[in-house]
Amino acid sequence: MNSGKTMTTGCHFSHKHILGIEHLSAEHIDHILQTAESFKEISGRSIKKVPTLRGRTIVNLFFEPSTRTRLSFEIAAKRMSADTFNISASTSSATKGETLIDTARNISAMHPDIIIIRHSCSGTPEMLTRYVRASVINAGDGTHEHPSQGLLDMMTVREHKGRLDGLKVTIIGDILHSRVAHSDIIGFTRMGSRVFVYGPATLIPVGLEKLGAVVCGSLEEAVRDADVVMTLRIQKERQSDPLLPTFREYAQNYGVTREVMALARNDALVMHPGPINRGVELMPDVADSSQSVILDQATNGVAVRMALLYLVMGNT
């Protein structure tokens, strides 16, 4: 590995765990993104493998169904030559049997180097750090954070815009239940972007401005002159909480169409953390337009996760 290239900032990366963007300074975010940019090239090779993490053991501990994030982490680990193991458990079956802490202690006793955890309860990765010796990477916890997604979003925007500073980043949709929105709001704000959010009041959490976001009063205000327009997956109802009357009404009032995108800058990027409800929060023609960088997000996800695995291992 060309460590010289990744260390150009001279940043001392001291994080053993990646629990959330909230714990990362602008300098550290920049360092992760630079490291990821340098790793991206590996995925373009015909032999997509470097020996950097040979002999390292990585456990994917997923308490919530996930296809893309787990696959992305697994590909990242394998491209770094680490040994990976997947454990899937539903939270409910885990509650009936073994406690999370017992599961964690058992896994820890087998000496993994990194545990990647996804859990439907916020704060679980942080709790895990108190019981295991391994590095812990949060692959999404409840409605708290999804730091690797936030980082890959920043990487994708920086790749296309050349910077993050001074950009207007707009996020539309279910902010209340979105850990991606939380990580993006904190991350983009920390990197100098201005983050604007919009959605029905039922989906905007109290005190969001304290995270650094501007809560807009209209779709027009949110999208006008935006450099980035990100939409989030919408759910009509969650655990019997009536959030929206119909998808139809949502699509008509909050859905991002070509007309809405016309308010943004001509070169504005269209993003979505997936999976998309086509025709609800994002119209198919917008999702598939030349402005869409949704597939770049997936590509960069692997690079960002390679960088995180490398960096938490003390970049040795």
Smallest separation, CB 281 to another protein (Å): 20
User: In terms of CB distance, is 212 or 274 closer to another protein?
Assistant: 212
119 binds another protein (CB under 8 A): yes
Distance of CA 13 to the CA centre of its chain: 20
Residues 155-184 that bind another protein (CB under 8 A): 179, 182
Cα atoms found within 13 Å of the Cα of residue 242, Cβ hemisphere only: 2
31 binds another protein (CB under 8 A): no
97 binds another protein (CB under 8 A): no
| Tokens coding 102 | 């017992």
CA distance 45 to 56: 22
Catalytic residue (choose from 28, 40, 118, 182): 118
* Catalytic-residue membership of 118: yes
201 binds another protein (CB under 8 A): no
* Catalytic-residue membership of 146: yes
87 binds another protein (CB under 8 A): no
26 binds another protein (CB under 8 A): no
Q: CA nearest 146: which of 274, 31, 5?
A: 274
Query: How many residues are recorded in the chain?
Result: 316
* Catalytic-residue membership of 161: no
Radius of gyration of the chain (CA): 19
Span from 47-55, 165-173, 200-208, 267-275 in contact with another protein (CB under 8 A):
200-208
* Catalytic-residue membership of 190: no
DSSP 18: B
Q: CA nearest 125: which of 55, 60, 67, 36?
A: 60
Smallest separation, CB 121 to another protein (Å): 4
User: In terms of CB distance, is 211 or 263 closer to another protein?
Assistant: 211
Please say whether the beta carbons of 224 and 263 come within 8 A. yes
Q: Is 309 left (phi over 0), alpha (psi -120 to 50) or beta?
A: alpha
115 binds another protein (CB under 8 A): no
* Four-residue CA torsion sign, 193, 143, 138, 304: negative
Residues contacting another protein: total by CB under 8 A: 30
Q: What residues are annotated to the active site?
A: 68-69, 96, 118, 146
The residues of the shown chain that bind another protein, judged by CB under 8 A, are 22, 91, 95, 99-101, 119-124, 126-127, 141-145, 179, 182, 205-208, 210-211, 239-241
